[in-house]
Amino acid sequence: MADKQVSLPAKLINGGIAGLIGVTCVFPIDLAKTRLQNQQNGSRLYSSLSGCLLKTIRSEGYFGMYRGAAVNLTLVTPEKAIKLAANDFFREMLSRDGQKLTLLKEMLAGCGAGTCQVIVTTPMEMLKIQLQDAGRIEAQRKSMPQAVSSTPPSTVAKEIKRPQTAIQISRELLRSKGIAGLYKGLGATLARDVPFSIIYFPLFANLNKLGQKNPDTNAPFYVSFLAGCIAGSTAAVAVNPCDVIKTRLQSLQRGAHEDTYSGIMDCIRKILRNEGPAAFLKGAYCRALVIAPLFGIAQVIYFLGVGEVILDFLPHGQHD
C-alpha cells in the first residue's frame, strides 16, 4: 500500500471502530479460549471449542458467551488505537531518511507498537479473564461440590467469591494490591504482545503489498482483509504459549486441585511437569479464529479511511 499521510485523530478513530466491530464478532470464541486455557488436568469440563460454547449456552444462556465483553468493548478502542497508530508512527519515524523500510525496521516498529499497547491491554485482559472464567469455576464447583482446592487461593480471590462486574473486581484489586493489582501479568503480556507485533505488522505489510498493482495505488480491501487474517492467525499461534502463561497468571480464582503460580518461570515449570508441552498450545486454534477476523476487520476499516470520512463531517478546526 502506498504510504498516505493520515492524521493521528483519524488513525485513532479507525483503530477504535475496528476494535469494536472485531471484538463484537469474535468475543464468544475468545471466551472459549480463556476457559480452555485455564482448565488443567483433572478439572476438564470442555473438550473443544464447540463443546465449550454449547455448555456455556446451556448453563449461562446466550449472553453467557459475552461475559466480560463490556470491559473489552470499553478498553479495546484505546488499545487498538494505540497499537495501530503507534505502529504507523514508528514506521514513519524509521523511514524519515527517505529509504525504503527494511524488514528489521518493520520489526522494530512492531516492537514499539506492542510495547505501547500493554498500558491498556494488561488491565483489560486482567478484568476480562476473571469474568470469562467465572462460569467455568462455578460449573466445576457444581459438579464437584465437596472438592477442595489443592492450593489456597489468593487473598483477592477469597474476597471476590463470584465476580459480577469489572468495577467490583477493580475496586477489590486496587484496595488490596494497589495499581499493581490491575497490572498483574504485565511481564507475560509483554512477552506475548511484543513478539506478536514483531511478527504481525511486517508480515501484514508485505502480504498487503502483493495486492498492489503499482506502488502508487492501494491494495484492494479484500487483499487487506486476507493479509490481516493470515498475518494475525500466524502471529497468534506463534505466541500462544505466552498467551497460556499470561492467562494462567492473571486468573485470580482456581478450580479444585488446580495449580497456582508465583511467576512466569514457576508457571512454565508446573505446566511442563503436570500437563506436558502440549498444554502450551491450548486454545491455539481458538486464538487464531479470534485474531484472524479481528485484524482482518481492523485493517479493512483502517485502510478504507473511515476515520478520515468521519473527520470530514466535523466543522473545520475541531480535529486539527
Q: What is the pLDDT of residues 195-210, one digit of tens each?
A: 998 998 889 888 988 8
Secondary structure (3-state) at 243 = helix
Q: Hey, how many other C-beta atoms are within 10 angstroms of the C-beta on 223?
A: 20
Domains and CATH numbers, the chain: 8-312 (1.50.40.10)
The answer to whether 76 touches 20, Cβ cutoff 8 Å, is: yes
Spatial contact of 36 and 52, defined as CB atoms under 8 Å apart? yes
What are the grid coordinates assigned to 263, written together? 511467576
Please state which of the ranges 2-6, 257-261, 312-316 shows the lowest mean pLDDT.
Answer: 2-6
Highest mean pLDDT (candidates 3-12, 20-29, 42-51, 140-149): 20-29
Cα–Cα–Cα angle for 283, 288, 292, nearest 5°?
155
Which of 82-96, 122-136, 301-315 comes out lowest in average pLDDT?
301-315
Q: What is the pLDDT of residues 123-169, one digit of tens each?
A: 999 999 999 998 888 887 777 655 444 444 444 444 445 546 889 99
Q: Report pLDDT for 3.
A: 43
Residue 197 to residues 158, 213, 299: CA-CA distances in angstroms? 36, 26, 14
Residue 24 sits at φ, ψ, to 5 deg, of -60, -40
Q: Which residue has the cell 502440549?
A: 278
Give the span between the Cα atoms of 43 and 279, in whole angstroms: 14
Phi, psi of 166, rounded to the nearest 5 degrees: -65, -35
Please give the pLDDT value at position 99: 77
